[in-house]
Homo-oligomer: A and B are copies of this chain.
Amino acid sequence: MTSTYTSALDQYKTFYKKQLLEDTLPFWFPRAIDEEYGGYLLMRDADGSLLDDDKAVWIQGRFAWLLSTLYNTVEQKAEWLEGAKKGIDFLRRYCFDEDGRMFFHMTRGGKPLRKRRYFFSETFAVIAFAAYAKASGDKEVADEARRLFGKCLEYATTPGLLEPKFTGTRPAKGISIPMIMLNTAQQLRDTIGDERCDEWIPKWIAEIEQDFVKDDIRCVMEQVAPDGSLIDHFDGRTLNPGHAIEGAWFILHEAKHRNNDPHLINLGCRMLDYMWERGWDKEHGGILYFRDMYGKPVQEYWHDMKFWWPQNETIIATLLAYLMTGNQKYAGWHQQIHDYAYQHFHDKENGEWFGYLHRDGRLSSTIKGNLFKGPFHLPRQEWYCWQVLEAFQK
């Protein structure tokens, strides 16, 4: 590490901390706390005005996770813990169906509007409960986190338990499941701990490595056949570079946890390399949303838009890859994606980031929060990068 770059890293650390605490978090907190019904009112326009008072279950969990995590790792502020509790209580009181599954979309008052086939509501609730249990010492919530993690394990490993979207004609599996389970287990381990984490984490990483990472074509697949073979149809060819790069840093994080395990560092860096090559927009900068494995047209209409979260995940992955390898290539990539993202997505007037840009960087929508976007990928990136820079400088 050259001394020049050491000083740059110091500036990044200060920047991420400042952005998180003085720009991103104040956009949401305390404004989003729903004092009347509990939970959070997060569907907001650029200036913070409320667009819809519905509540997305994913994001209720994610914001409770964020506030608890800040309490656990940054400062034990009573208001953060109280804010986290608002979300935890809302999730526990309203967001579970009678069959134990969670809903996806709620009214402000806690009535269910939609339940989906996927169990991502559950995984985000696990990390929220676990982080809150650590922050509050509430044993009941800790038990709830462990119980729900057990349900997620069951959903993830029992074919046919959740209603399938497709027939059995062309069986497929997505990288989403091992990725989200890996991160959920990492969060659980880092907060209240659970012996199942160390049992399962290596299995999910092995599945990603064996079935989704294709060294021969330098590619991380989003979807493959159950045996890992390629599916040469629209869905099977569709790549999501920002998502695969998120997976790359989950694996680099695991490498760090295992005393810089060289095999995992290599795996995470390969994933990042392959998908930077495929996802980075050489013409306009930024990470594109979807790409076809063969460069053919993608079926999804928004394929060439720039969404906020792939940029956040790439900022983390490139920084972590640099810190763990010292390879200047990653320092360069980190600077490129950081500069692009903060220049194009950051709302300098109102704080926080816009979510949706056209390929060329023009704003497509002023929306800050909806069913899919809320206080998660951006604050997690700023928090993680700050914390990891802190750890590496010690």
A302 neighbours in B (Cβ, 8 Å): 301-302
Report the separation of the CA atoms of residues A304 and B169 in the bound assembly, to the nearest whole angstrom: 36
> Digit string of A280-320 for contact with B (CB within 8 Å is 1, else 0)?
00000000000000001111011111010000000000000
Report the separation of the CA atoms of residues A305 and B305 in the bound assembly, to the nearest whole angstrom: 11
Cross-chain contact of A45 among B53, B170, B296, B301 (Cβ < 8 A): B296
Q: Is A52 an interface residue (CB 8 A)?
A: yes
Binds B, one of A109-117, A176-184, A323-331, A381-389: A109-117
Q: Is A356 an interface residue (CB 8 A)?
A: yes
Cross-chain contact of A358 among B112, B299, B307, B358 (Cβ < 8 A): B358
A169 neighbours in B (Cβ, 8 Å): 107, 111-113
Report the separation of the CA atoms of residues A53 and B231 in the bound assembly, to the nearest whole angstrom: 12
> In chain B, what residue has the closest Cβ to A172?
B113
Contact: A113 with B167, CB < 8 Å? Answer: yes
Report the separation of the CA atoms of residues A178 and B226 in the bound assembly, to the nearest whole angstrom: 42
> In chain B, what residue has the closest Cβ to A297?
B367
Q: Is A32 an interface residue (CB 8 A)?
A: no
Report the separation of the CA atoms of residues A328 and B296 in the bound assembly, to the nearest whole angstrom: 44
Q: Is A336 an interface residue (CB 8 A)?
A: no
A165 neighbours in B (Cβ, 8 Å): 114
> In chain B, what residue has the closest Cβ to A46?
B297
Cross-chain contact of A301 among B52, B166, B297, B364 (Cβ < 8 A): B364
Q: Is A72 an interface residue (CB 8 A)?
A: no
Q: Is A223 an interface residue (CB 8 A)?
A: no
Contact: A234 with B364, CB < 8 Å? Answer: no
Cross-chain contact of A297 among B170, B304, B366 (Cβ < 8 A): B366
Report the separation of the CA atoms of residues A273 and B366 in the bound assembly, to the nearest whole angstrom: 28
Interface residues in A334-367 (C-beta closer than 8 Å to B): 356, 358-359, 364-367
* Known pairs A297-B51, A299-B367; A43 contacts B111 (CB<8 A): no
Q: State the Cβ distance, A64 to closest chain B Cβ, in Å.
A: 22
Q: State the Cβ distance, A352 to closest chain B Cβ, in Å.
A: 14
Contact: B51 with A234, CB < 8 Å? Answer: yes
Report the separation of the CA atoms of residues A302 and B290 in the bound assembly, to the nearest whole angstrom: 14
Cross-chain contact of A303 among B54, B107, B365, B371 (Cβ < 8 A): B365
A113 neighbours in B (Cβ, 8 Å): 166-167, 169-170
Q: State the Cβ distance, A294 to closest chain B Cβ, in Å.
A: 10
Interface size of A by Cβ–Cβ distance < 8 Å?
38
Contact: A43 with B166, CB < 8 Å? Answer: no
Cross-chain contact of A170 among B51, B107, B170, B296 (Cβ < 8 A): B107
Which one of A51, A112, A167, A301 has the highest number of Cβ atoms from chain B below 10 Å of its Cβ? A301
Report the separation of the CA atoms of residues A364 and B305 in the bound assembly, to the nearest whole angstrom: 10
Interface residues in A74-121 (C-beta closer than 8 Å to B): 107, 111-115
Q: Is A191 an interface residue (CB 8 A)?
A: no
Q: Is A60 an interface residue (CB 8 A)?
A: no
Report the separation of the CA atoms of residues A299 and B45 in the bound assembly, to the nearest whole angstrom: 11
Cross-chain contact of A234 among B43, B114, B115, B307 (Cβ < 8 A): B43
A297 neighbours in B (Cβ, 8 Å): 45, 51, 365-367
Q: Is A263 an interface residue (CB 8 A)?
A: no
Q: State the Cβ distance, A308 to closest chain B Cβ, in Å.
A: 11
Q: Is A370 an interface residue (CB 8 A)?
A: yes
Report the separation of the CA atoms of residues A180 and B48 in the bound assembly, to the nearest whole angstrom: 39
Please list the 3 inter-chain residue pairs (A to B) with the smallest Cβ-Cβ separation, ordered nearest first: A297-B367, A301-B302, A111-B169
- Which residues of A pack against B, CB within 8 Å? 43, 45, 51-54, 107, 111-115, 165-167, 169-170, 233-234, 296-299, 301-305, 307, 356, 358-359, 364-367, 370-371
